[in-house]
Amino acid sequence: MKMLVTVKITKGFDAWRAMSESLMPEAEKHGIHMIWAGSNPDESQVYVVMQLQDPEQMKTFGEREDIVKARAEAGAIVESTEVISPIGKDFMPG
């Protein structure tokens, strides 16, 4: 299943990206794969397309104390994390 998710950030996209890259190996162990991420022009919001086996994985992984701490230290306003929508079909020309 793919999902479009957003979170507000306070330290810009580069800080968020570095944190996200550092967490990728652990996320992938839990079946969570980031497909794409981008920010709005003022780098105050990040949008992420991710693939997971079960939507609950995002919640259980994202609420782990160590993950919450890493995200917050990188400027993510963790409580602003929002699932915009599950993605049923997609197309990535290429």
Structural domain including 7 reads 2-87
pTM of the model: 0.90
pLDDT tens by residue, 71-94:
999 999 999 999 999 999 999 898
pLDDT at 46 over 80: yes
Residue 79 lies in a domain: yes
Has residue 93 been placed in a domain?
no
Helix (H) or strand (E) segment spanning residue 20: helix 12-29
Task: Say how many Å lie between the first and final Cα of the chain, rounded.
Answer: 21
75 within domain boundaries: yes
d(CA 89, CA 28): 22
CATH code, domain carrying 47:
3.30.70.260
